Chain A
Amino acid sequence: MRQSSVIARRVAAASVCLVLASGAAACGPEDSDAASGDDAKPKKGGTLRVLNSEPQTDFDPARLYTSGGGNVPSLVFRTLTTRNREDGAKGTEVVPDLATDTGRASKNATVWTYTLKKGLKYEDGSPITSADIKYGIERSFAAELSGGAPYLRDWLIGGADYQGPYKDKGKKGLDSIETPDERTIVFRLNKPEGEFPLLATQTQFAPVPKARDKGTKYEEHPVSSGPYQVVENENDGERITLKRNPHWSRETDEERFAYPDRIDVRSGLDPSVVNQRLSASTGADAAAVTTDTNLGPAELSKITGDKKLAARVGTGHFGYTDYIAFNPKVKPFDNPKVRQAIAYAVDRTSVVNAAGGSSLAEPATTFLPEQKAFGSTGHDHFPAGKTGNPAKARKLLAEAGYRNGLKVTLTHSSTTVGRGNPETAAALQDALKKAGITVSLKGLEDNKYGDVIHSVKDEPGFFLTGWGADWPSGGPFLAPIFDGRQIVRDGANFNTGQLDDPAVNKEIDEINKLTDLDEAAGRWGALDEKIGKRALVVPLTHPVYKRLYGKDVRNIVISDWTGVLDISQVAVK
């Protein structure tokens, strides 16, 4: 039973990874200086407009599945820790938010203790206490408020069976979260988890005052702990207006600047409309940004021809990998030489072009994304060069007994946007032809595609997929895909290579004990390199996000954690 509920949440996790990956984009560090040149010092005041394609349908901290606390949500919900709001690699660091530090581990990283800063207040002036954070986490266990990441349920002692505070009236809640005083909170985990501070960035760690909780209706007006509070939320998150929270103080919040007086979020727009309005930048749109819409290749080719527009484009990264996955239980992919031959035959130039060109994707040879926080070693076990090595692929195929070529079927999603798209499939079909591999494409409708590739029973031998990070570390990247204990036989399985190697499993456990995240990153990188030799996956690309912003927007900061422009930093002219 427990497993099946984990599965459901994993499916949600994967889909959110997708949303993040397809939507995450950012305004670039390389251009921010140019943009803010005319008045370097950002000023308070004004209204910032946010033009988005996806409406913020959930605004309850329990239900949100965001990497690093989200963007618009993190203006309203402060969490124990948060992502460092800086450009580049520094943006992947975890920093304290409500807490005084990122957490103190004891007992082999199974007990985590946090102390709240002094003087923290909600929008009504009442104090934020550790009990409110405990309550916020507990309510995320309620079935009616599901949607968040599965980690709390998996990690906290008793988390698997806890049903949330609505079914558990009058008791003291989840025993494994203790609040010895108003400013202290202690978490007891069922296994060592050195990356707990990274999990504590998610909105489930936002305080919720029990007296103000209205269950599923809480999202209509969540009580703000951040610099802004909700004025109105219309059409299920399609139009959200935020104003300043008078009780928020910059003195307790080193991460958020909160320059504009108001934030006006309008979503449900077609991505091309978002980019069109940002490029026109007229009227209120001059002070507009987007936190979910990326530039497409055709838009990019037009914008790069216009210097003024190009200066308003920024670049960001989000830990994500598009890759070929093999099911070694299906012939001929049980033969490592066949898998290696395909790895050698891949033409990463045409694959990058299919993903939108070198400005929107980087060629990938490692499963881990290239940012430092993931610890990727940059290895390339099957060097295919820029355009593939069909000669080497043919040689391997001959050794595997396919002297006269090979016929295979590549399964992908028929949806153009997102993982496993038909453009990438067609590019691979062309590249593999040169190595004597005849590929027929099998495009499945997106839901069916998701069902098939995550089912141990129906999993095809050769398919396209992608994986995104819940936080910038090797843990949420490697464990779900390569930990043998995470093979799910009767539900959504993400260990598609069905690898169950005791040595790999043990190393994952060992790294999880580390509280030094730099040391852990190095170990994750080494593990990725070791697993990569098996050619269970062929990494293809890591996406790059190009984001356009309005001409009156200043102080552009992009997070390398989310790849998204951080609106807590933005000022308007």
Chain B
Amino acid sequence: MSEAQLTSPVGVDAVVVSAPAAGAGTFWRRLRAQRAALCAAAVAGLLVLFALTAPLLILLEGADSTTYHPELVDSARGGVPIGSFGGASGSHWLGVEPQTGRDLFARLAEGAQVSLGVALGATLIQVAVGVSVGLAAGLGNRWVDQLFDRLTDVVIALPLVVMALAMLAVVPEDFPRPLLVALIIGLVAWGTIAKIVRAQTIALKSLDYVAAARLSGWNTWRIARRELLPGLAAPVLTYSALLFPVNVVIESALSFLGVGVKAPTASWGQMLAAADVWYQAAPQYLLLPAGLLFTAVLALTVLGDGVRTALDPRAAGRLRVGTRAGQGPAAPAPAADTAPRKEGAV
């Protein structure tokens, strides 16, 4: 996966041209009309539920994610789980991990919390920083705009994984690791959202209702809060929905590289890293976290796409996951007039 794909979800350039937000009712109506998005929402919902209820589910199963069970692995054969399907049984629903005998279901459930939690935290940080910087740039004078816009350019140009590797190496060991990973992803990858917010702010502030607000003596802060933020909600929400699965992938990539969460905490990426050599001897050990990761990213991406369609039906025709801008049937791709730059559209 290339850096561009990691950091920029599909079709970010065109969101900016969206009109002011549709009402909540319209949004739900449009979202419900998309079967794929509904299925994705259901799957994503189940995964979130899985993550939220993980402690309960683990309690129900009666195992935990860190206790070693040496008696459940065949030590003489390298520690492969004893029994079929990776040693699956009533007390270990999905079998156990090779070499350690730790419960796989408990680790997957705990991994769901880490993977989704870190991605959510990272997305929230990205939105907070991106909106602040974008608004400041869009509303500030020429110098402020230049300063923030160049800063954003620098941040966008930073190679995320390399930056994350460097930052994770210098932070003290005892800093809570999941929080750290969320912070790093959030603080390194907010550039595109800031660009979008800046462009939309510039577009909105020349509109009549904003001008009217300004003429009636409102200060900049009040204009931003009352008049601009509602107009920004749609593109920001859309973009966040697409950022979320990307952050899931980044977290798993960092954990896969060994710099994410630390033992004995599980995350899907960290499980994948440990499992890659076992693909022949204990396939379920690799397939379970890989399958969950794949399902989560696919569901969240399709859902994000659905959210965008519901918020901005005009973009729907030309921006579908897996289609190139300009290929769709209704593709009067407008010149990306307000979009500052074109980045990594699929």
A residues at B contact (CB < 8 Å):
272, 296-302, 304-305, 347, 349-350, 352-354, 356-360, 387, 414, 422-423, 425-427, 429-431, 440-443, 445
Contact = CB atoms under 8 A, between A and B. Distances in A.
Given A297-B98, A301-B79, A430 B74 contact: no
A357 B77 CA distance: 7
A178 to B, nearest CB: 54
B79 A356 contact: yes
B99 interface: yes
B263 interface: yes
B214 interface: no
Contact of B66 (A297, A304, A423, A430): A430
Contact of A427 (B68, B75, B174): B68
Contacts of A356: 78-79, 99
Which among A298, A304, A357 has the greatest number of chain B C-beta atoms within 10 A? Answer: A298
A274 to B, nearest CB: 14
B34 interface: no
B295 interface: no
A298 B280 contact: yes
Contact of B277 (A298, A350, A354, A360): A298
B115 to A, nearest CB: 19
B264 A357 contact: no
Contacts of A352: 75
Q: Nearest 3 CB-CB pairs, A to B?
A: A297-B78, A301-B80, A300-B78
Interface residues of A, dominant DSSP: helix
Nearest to B281: A301
Contact of B99 (A359, A423, A429, A430): A423
Contacts of A350: 68, 70, 100
Given A298-B98, A427-B100, A441-B263, A358 B76 contact: yes
A298 B278 contact: yes
Most buried by A among B78, B101, B262: B78
B41 interface: no
Contact of A414 (B75, B79, B80, B258): B258
B91 interface: no
13 contacts: A296-B78, A301-B78, A301-B282, A304-B76, A305-B77, A347-B70, A349-B75, A357-B78, A422-B263, A423-B99, A425-B263, A426-B100, A426-B263
A215 B69 CA distance: 57
A353 B79 contact: yes
Contacts of B220: none
B73 interface: yes
A349 B263 CA distance: 19
Given A296-B277, A359-B76, A426-B100, 7 more contacts: A296-B78, A353-B73, A357-B77, A423-B99, A426-B263, A427-B68, A441-B262
B77 A301 contact: yes
Contacts of B174: 440
A430 B67 contact: yes
B169 interface: yes
Contacts of B74: 301, 357
A435 to B, nearest CB: 14
Interface in B51-90: 66-68, 70, 73-80
A24 to B, nearest CB: 18
B277 A272 contact: yes
Contacts of A442: 173
A298 B78 contact: yes
Interface in B151-171: 169
Contacts of B169: 445
A319 to B, nearest CB: 22
Nearest to B285: A298
A204 B79 CA distance: 41
Given A300-B77, A360-B78, A426-B263, A353 B281 contact: no
A256 B78 CA distance: 34
Contacts of B98: 297-298, 301
Contacts of A414: 258
A430 B67 CA distance: 6
Contacts of B101: 353
Contacts, number: 95
A442 B175 CA distance: 12
Nearest to A448: B169
Nearest to B70: A349
A315 to B, nearest CB: 12
Nearest to B273: A416
Contacts of B70: 347, 349-350, 353, 387
A296 B282 CA distance: 14
B78 A359 contact: yes
Interface in B9-25: none
A352 B76 CA distance: 10
A471 to B, nearest CB: 30
Contacts of A423: 99
Contact of A359 (B66, B77, B258): B77
A458 to B, nearest CB: 14
Contacts of B75: 349, 352-353, 357-359
A295 to B, nearest CB: 8
Contacts of A431: 68
Contacts of B79: 297, 301, 353, 356-357
Contacts of B99: 297, 353-354, 356-357, 423
Contacts of A360: 78
A166 B277 CA distance: 50
Contacts of A430: 66-68, 264
A130 to B, nearest CB: 50
A508 to B, nearest CB: 37
Contact of B100 (A354, A358, A441): A354
A349 B101 CA distance: 11
Contacts of B263: 422, 425-426, 429, 441
B291 to A, nearest CB: 19
Contact of A347 (B66, B68, B78, B277): B68
Given A350-B68, A353-B75, A445-B169, A302 B277 contact: no
B76 A357 contact: yes
Interface string B280-302: 11100000000000000000000
B280 to A, nearest CB: 5
B281 A298 contact: yes
B48 to A, nearest CB: 28
A430 B281 CA distance: 25
Interface in B86-118: 98-101
A149 to B, nearest CB: 33
A443 B169 CA distance: 11
Nearest to B280: A302
A357 B99 CA distance: 7
A443 B281 contact: no
A304 B77 contact: yes
B278 to A, nearest CB: 5
A353 B102 CA distance: 12
Interface string B160-197: 00000000010001100000000000000000000000
